[in-house]
Structure 1
Amino acid sequence: MRVLFGIATTVVLVTTSQTALATSDVFRFVGHGPISTAMGGSATAFDVGAAGMMTNPATLSLMPQGSEIHLGVDIVGANISVKSQATGEKVSSRNHSKNRGPYAAPQAAYVYHSGPLGLGFGIFPQGGIGTEYGGNSFLSRANGGLETGLENSSRLLTLNIPFAASYEINDKLTVGASVDAIWQGLNVNMLMGADQVGSLIGAGRVNGSLVPVLAGLPDLRGAHFSFSKNKPVASGVKAWGLGGRLGLIYKVTEKTILGAAYTMGSRLADMDGDATLTAVDGMAGHISLAGKVKVRNFQTPAQLNFGISHQLNDRWLLTADVSRVFWKRAMKDIDIGFTANNGADINIRLPQNYKDQTALSFGVAYQTGRWVLRGGGRFATQALRSSTLLAVVPATPNTFVSAGFSYQFSPVSKVDFAWMYSFEKKMINSSQPNTSEPIKVRHSQNSLSLAYTHRF
C-alpha cells in the first residue's frame, strides 16, 4: 500500500505541475500500456496484456484463457524551452492558460481468450504533442518589435479505439488483426511574422482572397491563427477516421518467440472547427476575423515492427523490437484552410518534410514472488528536420530509458506501472518560413503509465 500511495502521489504531482502533453517519437507514444512502456516500447513478440492490440494483435493469444478488464491512464509532462538566437531571450512551456486542462489520456480495454481465439476492444492514446508559451514572450512579438499579447500554444491528442482478434493456427503460428476507430483533436494558437507570411507567399504556399486584403494593410506586422478550447480533451478542431493493423507471432521454441506487425496509415477526415484570424498592423492594431478552419490531411503514419522475445528461465525475460515509421508520406505539410464568416479565405501550407524513422526498443523483466521488475530503452533516428522546426511543434526527443513493475494482488488482479524519460534534445532552426528569427529548442520529458487489470 505504501508503494501504491507513492505512485498516486507522483501521478498527482505530475498532473498538477507539468505543462505539456507530448509524445516521444514525434507524435507517437513509445509503448502502449505500462508493460510495453516499462520495456522501452517493445511489444511485438511477447504478452503485454490488452495493450497488445495497439502494436501486434496476435499477442492477445499469449494472454491466459478467460476474460480481462484493463483500466489505466497515461500522463506525460514535458520540459520545453525556446531561445531566440538573435536576442538571447528564453521562454519555457508552462501553464500560461487553460488550453489543455489535465495532461492525461485514458486506457480502457476488455479481452476474451478462449481456445485458439482471442478478442478484444478498447481505447488507448496513440500520441500527442503540446506547448504553452503564453502571450508575453518574444514568440508573441510581431515584426519590428511590436508586442501583440497573443498566445502561442498547441495540443494534439490522438485516441485509438481498436477492435482486435487473434487466432492460433497451430501450436507455433498465431495471426491477428484489428480495425481501429480514430479520434484526433488539435488546439493551436500561433503568431507568424509578416516576413514569414511573405516567405510562404514567395514559395507558393499561400493563396486565397484574403491575401490581397492582408497585403493592402498600411503596416502589416504579422498574422495570428487561433483555434483552441480550454477543455481536457475537446479541441478547437477535430476529426474521426479509421486505421488498423495486421500481426503474427511464431514460436521458434517454447522460450523464443518472433513477431511481426504492420500498422496502416490512418484515414482521417480533415479536422475542422471555429477559428479566429487576427492581422497585426502597426497602425491599425489588431484586426480579427471569425470563421471556420480546416486542417487538411493530418494523418498518423504507417509503421512496420519486427520483434523477438526470449525467456531465459522462470525469472528472466529479454525482448527487442525494430520499427520503421513512415513519416515521410504522412507529414509533408501542415495544411490550414481558413474561411471567414464573410466568405473570404486563405490557405497556408507550412512545410514539414519529415523523414522516415527507424527505432530500436529493448527490455528486460525479472519476476520474484508477486513482483515483476522491468527496465528498457529506445533509440530512434530523428524524423523532424531542423529547417522546418516550429516552436509550437517541438517533437524532437529520440533517446529514452524506462523502468516499471507489476504487483500481483491475487491470482485475478494486479497493478502495472511504468516510468519513461526522454533525454534532452536540442535543435536549431535558422530559416524561414517556420520561424521569424533563429531559435533553439530544448525538449526533454517524463511520462507515467498506470493500469489495473482484473481477470475472471
Structure 2
Amino acid sequence: MKKRHSTGRSPRRQRLPMAGLALALATAAGAAQATDVFRLEGFGAVSRAMGGVATAHDVGPAGMMTNPATLSLMEADNAAMVGLDLVTTDIDVRNRDTGENAPSRNHGANRGPYFAPELAYVQRVGAWSFGLGAFAQGGLGTEYGRNSFLSRGTGGLDTGLENASRLLVLNIPVAASFRASEALTIGGSIDAMWQGLNLDMLLGADQVGSLISAGRVSGSLLPVLGGLPDLRGAHFSLTRNAPLASGVNAWGYTGRVGMTYALSADTRLGAAYTLRSRMGDMDGRATLTAVDGVAGQIALPGKLQVRDFQMPSVLNLGVSHRVTDRLTLAADVSRVFWAGVMKDIKVAFVADGGGDLNIRLPQDYRDQTVVAVGGAWRMDERWTLRGGLRVAQQALPSSTLLPVIPATPRKHLSAGFGYAVSPRASVDFAWSHAFREIMDNTSLPNTSAPIRVSHAQDNATLVYTWRF
C-alpha cells in the first residue's frame, strides 16, 4: 500500500491533554440540549461511529462532506468507498385531550425503513487530492396512515385522508485538498444537490382560520374555501410511492471550504464552513382537497411549489489527538444556522381549473450548536473499535411542531468497528441511537388538538473501502 506524504511528525511525540481541549470546545459551545434536525449525524461509518467527528480527523473519503481538507490526511494515494445508510424511526403522536395515539408505521410503499447511498472516490496527484462523491445529507419521514385522529377534520369528522412525509436530500460533492506544508492542509468542494419531498397533511378548519387571521394565507381560492357551507379542513397531497421519486423536487448547489493544522506530531486542529444551499423551488403535481361537512370532499388537482426550502450554513471546529499508538480521541463543535433558512414553509398551489392558494406554515427554527466527541481504539492490525456521543441545542420551538415534521431527537450515542479485510481493503460499520425525545404542542396553527410527539431513532451504516 502506498504511504501518504510526510505529516511533519517529529520523533519526540508531544502529548497534549485531549480532555482539556475537548472541554474547551464544549464550553465554547454553551449548553447542549438536541441534535441535527434534517442532517445526518456524520457521513461515512468512521465518522458516524465516533459521534460525527470529522473536522480534524481522517475519516476517509467521506471527509469531503464535512471538511475536504482532511482528504490530504488519507494514508493511501487513492481510495474508493461504497456504503449504505439505514435509518429506522420510532415516532408516536398522542392526542392529550383524548389519549389517542397515532404511531408512525409502514402504511405506505416508500417510507421507513429508509435507505440511502454513500459513494466516493479520491485520487492524489502530487500535493493535491481530488474527490468525487454522492451522499445522503439527511431528511425525515413519517407515516401515520388514514385512520388516526390526525385524519379528522374540525368537529371530529373522519376524512380517511393520509398524513405522511418523506424528505430526502442528496449531495454530489466535487472536492479538492492541497497539502500546503508539512503541517497545513486546505480544501474545498462544490456540491450539486437534489432534494425531494413527499407530503400528505390535513389542516383542520381551525388551523386554516388561524393561518388566515395571521395573514399567512392568500390567493383566489381563499374566498372559494370560505364560501363552503361547512368547511372542516384542507388536505394537501404531493406524494409518489417510489424509492427515490418524490411529489416535488428541485436541484441546486452548495459549497464548503476547510483546513487542518498539525500543532504537534499527535494533535491536529481543523475548521470548515459549509455555505447555505441555493436550491430551486421544489415543484410537482399535487391535490388540494377541501373537506366540507355538507358538500363532502372536493378534490382540486394542480401544480404545487415548496418555495425557498434550503439547507443551512454550518461552521465546524475540531481537534484530533493521538493519545497512544492505539488510541485516538477527537471532538467537534458545529454551529448550524437554521434560523436563516427555516422561518416558514412556503407552499404555493395553482389548480388546473384556475385559482391559486399560498400558505406560509410557521417554523421559526433557532440556530443550533452541536458538540460531538469520539474515540478510536486500534486493537490489532485488523480490528479498530470506535465510539462517540453527540448532543446539541434544540432548534425547533415546541409551538411550531408539526406531526409530519418531528425534528426533535436530543442526543446520539454511537459505536462501530473497522475490519481490515486485506492491506488494501476494509469494512467499517457504525450504529447510532437517537435517545427518545418528547415534545408537546398546544398551539394553533400547526396543530388543532394538543399533541405530544415521541421520537427515537436508530441509524446504521456499512461501508467498504478499497485503497490503492
Shorter-chain TM range is: over 0.9
Deviation at 1:343, TM superposition (A): 2.2
User: What do residues 158-209 of structure 1 show as CA deviations (whole Å, max 9, x unaligned)?
Assistant: 0000000000110011100000000000000000000000000000000000
| SS of 1:94 mapped into structure 2 | coil
Distance 1:84 1:284 in 2: 28
2:387 pairs with one of 348, 366, 375: 375
Q: Quote the residue 1:95 is aligned against.
A: 106
> What does 1:33-72 align with in structure 2 at a 5 Å threshold?
33-72=44-83
Q: Distance in 2 between matches of 1:367 and 1:259?
A: 22
- Cα pair 1:100 1:233 within 8 Å, conserved: no
Deviation at 1:103, TM superposition (A): 1.3
> Which residue identity lines up with residue 396 of structure 1 in the other structure?
T
- Residues 403-456 of structure 1: CA distance to partner in whole angstroms, max 9, x if unpaired? 000000101101010000011000000010000111000001000011001112
Partner residue, 1:260: 271
Letter of the 2:400 partner, please give it: T
Q: State the shift of 1:398 in Å.
A: 2.0
Is structure 2 residue 419 aligned with structure 1 residue 402?
A: no
Equivalent residue runs for 1:132-281 within 5 Å? 132-281=143-292
**Corresponding residue SS for 1:445:** strand
Offset of residue 101 of structure 1? 6.8
| 2:139 paired with 1:116 | no
CA distance in structure 2 between the aligned counterparts of 1:328 and 1:25, rounded to whole angstroms = 13
Shift of 1:339: 0.3
Q: Distance in 2 between matches of 1:133 and 1:151?
A: 7
Cα distance in structure 2, aligned partners of 1:99 and 1:321: 34
Structure 1 residue 102, shift from structure 2 partner: 5.6
CA–CA distance in 2 between the matches of 1:448 and 1:79?
A: 15
Q: 1:390 aligns with which of 402, 412, 427?
A: 402
Residue type of the alignment partner of 1:288: A
1:321 aligns with 2:332: yes
**CA contact under 8 A between 1:65 and 1:114: conserved in structure 2?**
no
Report the AA paired with residue 449 of structure 2.
E
| Equivalent residues of 1:78, 1:444 under 8 A apart | yes
How much does 1:114 deviate? 3.3
TM-score, normalised with respect to structure 2: 0.92
Q: Do the aligned residues in 2 keep the contact of 1:101 with 1:231 (CA within 8 Å)?
A: no
1:298 aligns with 2:309: yes
Separation in 2, partners of 1:330, 1:416 = 34
- TM-score, normalised on structure 1? 0.94
Opposite residue 273 of structure 1, the aligned amino acid is G
Q: Quick check: 2:95–2:101 contact (8 Å CA) kept in 1?
A: yes
Give percent identity, aligned residues only. Answer: 61
- 2:349 matched to which residue of 1? 338
Root-mean-square deviation over aligned CA pairs: 1.0
Contact 1:64–1:113, Cα closer than 8 Å, also in 2 = no
Output the CA distance in 2 between the equivalents of 1:171 and 1:211.
Answer: 65
Deviates more, 1:114-123 or 1:403-412: 114-123
- Mark the runs of 5 or more structure 2 residues left unpaired by the alignment: 1-33
Tell me how far 1:261 sits from its aligned partner: 0.2
Give CA deviations for 1:233-264 in whole Å, capped at 9, x if unaligned: 11000000010100000000111000000000
Partners of 2:103 and 2:317 lie apart in 1 by 38
Displacement of 1:98 in angstroms is: 1.3
Find the residue that maps to 1:232 and give its secondary structure. Answer: coil
3-state SS in 2 of match to 1:331: coil
Contact 1:101–1:232, Cα closer than 8 Å, also in 2: no
Partners of 1:431 and 1:152 lie apart in 2 by: 19
Distance 1:275 1:186, change over 3 A: same
Looking at structure 1, the residues matched to 231 and 225 of structure 2 have their Cα atoms a distance apart, in angstroms, of 7
Q: CA deviation at 1:324?
A: 0.3
Q: Distance in 2 between matches of 1:309 and 1:69?
A: 24
Aligned residues: 434
SS of residue in 2 equivalent to 1:382 = coil
SS at match of 1:144: coil
2:31 is matched with which residue? none
AA paired with 2:159? T
> SS of the residue aligned with 2:421?
strand
How far apart are 1:147 and its partner, in Å?
A: 0.2
Q: Tell me, in whole angstroms, the C-alpha distance in 1 between the residues paired with 2:192 and 2:77.
A: 25
Q: Work out whether residues 269 and 318 of structure 2, in 8 Å CA contact, stay in contact via their aligned partners in 1.
A: yes
Give the equivalent residue in structure 1 for 2:39: 28
Q: Contact 2:76–2:467 (CA<8 Å) still a contact in 1?
A: no
CA distance, structure 2, for counterparts of residue 293 and residue 59 of structure 1: 41
Q: Which residue of 2 aligns with 1:428?
A: 440
Task: Check conservation: 1:101, 1:230, Cα contact below 8 A.
Answer: no
Amino acid at match of 1:136: N
Q: CA deviation at 1:24?
A: 5.3
Once residues 316 and 114 of structure 1 are traced to their aligned partners in structure 2, the CA distance between those partners, rounded to angstroms, is: 30
2:30 corresponding residue in structure 1: none
